[in-house]
Chains A and B, each alone.
Chain A
Amino acid sequence: MAVLTDEMKKVLKVVGKGGAVVHLTTSSADGKPNIVAERFVTHYKDEYILIADMFAQKTKVNLNENPLGCISIAHPVKDHTWVFRGPCTIISHASPDHYRWHDIVAGEVLNDWGDWATKEPPDEVPPDIAPPKLAQRGVIVLKVEEVYTFDPEHSGQVIS
């Protein structure tokens, strides 16, 4: 198990300047990788990262058959060359409130982050790249078990 540092939490929750952007990598059970940029991201407790689930169809298929993911920092990247890897799942709006996944309770996490666009409206996103309508279907949760650097000179070295 790895614990997110204060610096990691700060980068995963950048407010203003376009906010934080990460890439979420998943894979089918037979090794077909998939990578997508995600704009709605935050840390949760000390070892979880949350992403809004918005039309993440291939991600959903992959996580159903292979519940593992990597989250890599895309922006702001300077001195923040981290990849977070660990078990990953989707807590959908259809989940019962009492459903638990590791230390995550569905009712609690959806109450906090189930309506991301209202909680943190993406006002800064330019109109040509903003989705016309934000339809959130749940929350993608990654439990951080390992953090490694993607700095090319030290790539793959485990940080925690």
Chain B
Amino acid sequence: MSINLTPRMTDWIVANGAHIALATKKGFPTVIVSESIEVNHDTIAVHLTPNQMQQIGNIITENPLAAVAPGQLGSVRAPYQFKGTAKVLESKLEIKVEEIYCTKPGAEAGARLDTLGYKEMKAYEESRWTDLAPRA
């Protein structure tokens, strides 16, 4: 089942881009990075360049699983990992998010957030973080 991203998650990804992790079915890992990202409810849409398309096209065809983490300062200020299923539509990689994890080092590392449900997840964030959006 998919889950919508919160405004905080969306803002940090859109502002800072993301690292997108993929792997072949035998587990050979590959990463692409994009700063051209949209988030629509439960879907992270990455605009692919021709080189990125060439790099990951075959991988996505054989294994659609993807993991996404915010880039740049979002990597520490917004420590999330989004996991889901990806497909390429025209020149976009669309990842439907099915699991969300907190990746902050320490006791919260690996805590699954999506199982809280959207409202509880958003409330957790609002109580937890002082920076609900990246600074302009």
Q: Which residues of A contact B (CB under 8 A)?
A: 18, 21, 23, 25-37, 39, 54-58, 66, 68-70, 72, 74-75, 77, 81, 83, 85, 125, 128-129, 131-134, 150, 152-157
Contact between B31 and A39, CB atoms less than 8 A apart: no
Complex partner residue of A54 from B54, B75, B105, CB under 8 angstroms: B105
Q: For the complex, count residues of B whose C-beta is within 8 A of A.
A: 47
Q: Which residues of B contact A (CB under 8 A)?
A: 19, 21-36, 49, 51-52, 54-55, 63, 65-69, 71-73, 75-77, 79, 81, 83, 103-107, 109-110, 129-131
Contact between B55 and A153, CB atoms less than 8 A apart: no
Complex partner residue of B29 from A30, A36, A70, CB under 8 angstroms: A70
Cα separation A119 to B25 with both chains bound (whole Å):
39
Contact between A28 and B73, CB atoms less than 8 A apart: no
Sampled A-B contacts (25; CB under 8 Å): A21-B76, A23-B19, A25-B31, A27-B27, A29-B27, A30-B25, A31-B27, A31-B63, A32-B23, A32-B83, A34-B67, A35-B19, A37-B76, A37-B103, A39-B76, A54-B105, A68-B29, A75-B73, A83-B31, A129-B76, A132-B107, A150-B31, A152-B49, A152-B52, A156-B52
Chain A CB within 10 Å — which of B25, B63, B67 has the most? B67
Cα separation A27 to B75 with both chains bound (whole Å):
19
| A residues in contact with B54, CB < 8 Å | 156
B52 to chain A, nearest CB (A): 5
B83 to chain A, nearest CB (A): 8
Complex partner residue of B75 from A33, A37, A156, CB under 8 angstroms: A37
A112 to chain B, nearest CB (A): 20
